Amino acid sequence: MTGMQKRLNKQAEDYIGDLKSAVKQLWDKCCEEDQIPPDSKFCVFSKDNKFAPFYNRAVIQLQEAEAAYKAGGYVGLRIK
């Protein structure tokens, strides 16, 4: 593995770690908003939960990043 590949892998792992942290924080906020214990394994948030759309988007981003990383793709990079 080249130095560039190692840096890209590290960047991807950091990005995925940040996404996992964001998902956890948003889960906690969603649960707090709907008065659900945050250690619940499954729940349905109310339609007026202001954090739910952000949580849903963060989960999608995390799943996409993990899939790209496992497939050997570039993760967390934006090309302009």
Q: List the Cα angle 39/35/16 in 5-degree steps.
A: 45
CB 34 within 8 A of CB 50: no
Extents of the domains making up the chain: 9-70
| 49-59: pLDDT as tens digits | 999 999 999 99
For residue 32, what are the CA distances in angstroms to 7, 36, 58, 61, 78?
37, 6, 17, 22, 33
| 16-73: pLDDT as tens digits | 999 999 999 999 999 999 999 999 999 999 999 999 999 999 999 999 999 988 887 7
Q: Which of 4, 2, 3, 8 is nearest to 77 (CA)?
A: 8
> Which pTM was predicted?
0.84
Cα–Cα distance, 66 to 39 (Å, whole number): 23
